[in-house]
Amino acid sequence: MGKLSCSPRHSSTHVGRHPHNLIHMDVSGPMPDASVGGTRCFTALYDDFSKFFELCCIAVKGEVPGTVHKVSQQWERQTGVEVHFLYL
């Protein structure tokens, strides 16, 4: 087995107490093969309180900020609650 290049992250001590109070995010890619739509990367957003999860396919990692902004605006419109913290 190989050695880890860095130590594992400690789990977050913050807990979402309201919807959209704490959003976890992860980005992955580029994948070796493109999807039918041509995307090679994806970003995942997870609401700590409601356990709501959204996966967004993107062409390049440079689209992450715009995608996160679009998703957070969509969630705010649907619930009327503002997104407070984004945990990477």
Number of domains comprising the chain: 1
Which domain does 43 fall in, by range?
22-87
Q: Is residue 53 part of a domain?
A: yes
Instruction: For residue range 25-76, list pLDDT tens digits in order.
Output: 999 999 999 988 899 999 999 998 989 999 999 999 999 999 999 999 999 9
Q: Is residue 65 part of a domain?
A: yes
Q: How far apart are CA 5 and CA 10, in angstroms?
A: 15
C-beta atoms surrounding 2 within 10 Å: 4
Q: Is residue 66 part of a domain?
A: yes
Q: Is residue 1 part of a domain?
A: no
> Following DSSP, what letter does each residue of 30-72 receive, concatenated?
--SS--TTS--EEEEEEETTT--EEEEEESSGGGHHHHHHHHH
User: Is residue 1 over pLDDT 60?
Assistant: no
